Structure 1
Amino acid sequence: MCGRFVVPSTTDELLSVFDATGDNAADWKPSYSVAPTDPAPIVRECIHDETLQRDVDLASWGLKPGWAKPGGPAPINARLESVASNGMFRSAFASQRCLVPMAGYYEWQQMDDGKQPYFIHSDGDVLAAAGLYAARQEGDVWKISFTIITRAARDASGEIHDRMPVFLTPDVWDQWLRPEKITDKEEVLSMLDRSSVAVARTVTAFPVARTVNNVRTLDPGDPSLIEPAAKKE
């Protein structure tokens, strides 16, 4: 799974990396600890006045479709193995796809003296996880939410946890973001599998300070959260 991730990029940096023109994330501040229900930037494409536009939007982490009942589940992850058929996700998979930018994410290992967090990341500045989004009207306001697709972990990720985000290589970003409805689910699922395996080969992990463990007391704006932990003597 992916239960906490890192987005150190500014809005302007994300607009540049993803060649986006719409900026609905002006209030975004880089975070080294994005937790469930937190707002985070996503990249999506929509048709505005018959023109395709790529936006960077702020969305709440935890998918809440418009048809979902208040107080119901808001899953932060969707399994690649069932995302195209699961009733919670299949509509968004068909036509509401997004990218979730991040520098990496955290996973934990149980040690004799407690849980040890690891920062899992790639060599590049930005990873792009395959995500799904939903728009829900609350009063006069439209709220956007999202979930991150995960798969069985590969390479270094698998040494820490059995699941990892489905990261996509830049050459398939356009295909994934395209807003038209998917007609060949198996082709798209195969693309997600191939692309995420390629990114997994570039992933590395190292332990970080246990400050990361307590989301209530850490400072999400503190870049030292992703610094390698000091080795014990």
Structure 2
Amino acid sequence: MCGRFVVSQQADDLTAVFEAENGFVDWQPSYSLAPTDTVPIVRERARPDTGEFVRLLEPARWDFHPAFMKDSKRPQFNSRIETVATNGLWKGAFASGRCIVPMRGYYEWTGEPGSKRAHYLHGSDELLAAAGISTARKLDDGTWQVSTSIITREARDASGEVHDRMPVYLPLDAVDRYLDPAKLSPGEAAAMVEFLVAQSDLVAPTISEYEVDPRVNNHRRIDPHDPTLIEPWSG
């Protein structure tokens, strides 16, 4: 799974890599993003005046909440690749709300409560492109809220030693196909799932892991802007 991740890049760095416009001008790099936090995503959107599609870096709440879903105390922050194209909660967004969640790496834990060991998983480069889905709903105050979920799969990286799930990471040259805004038919959605599996198989072997300071265990008590959170820890 992915329950906490890192985005150490500035907005300009992210827009340059994904060739996107900046719709998240106040983004600040974070070394500890948790469910319900606001995170950066990249997606294709139609301009309201011209209908032309444009690629944007924009904010999203990491707690997938489509308009038809009732309020829930349990954040919906991961979607399983095995059901993302068929499950009623996810399939509409997978068909027409695909996005990329940029990240430098993510955390997993081992051990018992009270003495958990924190592990940081990262790629060979400083930026990973995780496949995600997004949706939008109108809030009571009349504003629109975009929310997102990260797609996960069976672990094929170093996380297999600490957890059985990992994010679906794509090579950068596969991003354009995934972000194509065309709505997928059920058959096309199934083909997209196969594409994600094959492409993430290419990235998974490049992911490695090391242990970090267990102070990262408590999201509320750390400074999320502290880059030392991802430094190796020897105990």
TM over 0.5: yes
- Structure 2 matches for 1:70-219, cutoff 5 A? 70-71=71-72, 73-110=74-111, 114-138=115-139, 139-183=141-185, 184-219=188-223
Range with bigger deviation, 151-160 or 25-34? 151-160
Percent of aligned pairs sharing the same letter: 46
**Residue 156 of structure 1: CA displacement?**
1.3
1:18 equivalent in structure 2: 18
SS class of match (2:184): coil
**Residue 186 of structure 1: CA displacement?**
2.1
Task: Look up the equivalent residue of 1:35 and give its one-letter code.
Answer: A
- State the distance in 2 between where 1:193 and 1:7 align: 23
- State the distance in 1 between where 2:203 and 2:156 align: 10
CA deviation profile, 1:175-224 (whole Å, cap 9, x unmatched): 11111111312211111001111110100000000010011101000000
Runs of 4+ in structure 1 over 6 Å off: none
Task: Look up the equivalent residue of 2:137 and give its one-letter code.
Answer: R
CA deviation profile, 1:31-80 (whole Å, cap 9, x unmatched): 00000100010000012113120000011001000111234654100000
- State the distance in 2 between where 1:110 and 1:71 align: 28
Counterparts in 2 of 1:218 and 1:188: CA distance versus 1, 3 Å: same
**Residue 113 of structure 1: CA displacement?**
7.4
CA deviation profile, 1:109-130 (whole Å, cap 9, x unmatched): 1169711000000011210100
Task: Look up the equivalent residue of 1:144 and give its one-letter code.
Answer: V
Task: Look up the equivalent residue of 1:27 and give its one-letter code.
Answer: D
1:46 equivalent in structure 2: 45
Scaled by the length of structure 2, what TM-score is found?
0.94
Counterparts in 2 of 1:178 and 1:72: CA distance versus 1, 3 Å: farther
- State the distance in 2 between where 1:2 and 1:119 align: 11
SS class of match (1:42): strand
- State the distance in 2 between where 1:113 and 1:55 align: 41
Counterparts in 2 of 1:112 and 1:218: CA distance versus 1, 3 Å: closer
CA deviation profile, 1:99-146 (whole Å, cap 9, x unmatched): 000000000011697110000000112101000001111122111100
Counterparts in 2 of 1:113 and 1:44: CA distance versus 1, 3 Å: closer
Task: Look up the equivalent residue of 1:3 and give its one-letter code.
Answer: G
Whether the 8 Å contact between 2:35 and 2:75 is mirrored in structure 1 is: no
Range with bigger deviation, 111-120 or 48-57? 111-120
CA deviation profile, 1:129-171 (whole Å, cap 9, x unmatched): 0000011111221111000000000031211110000001112
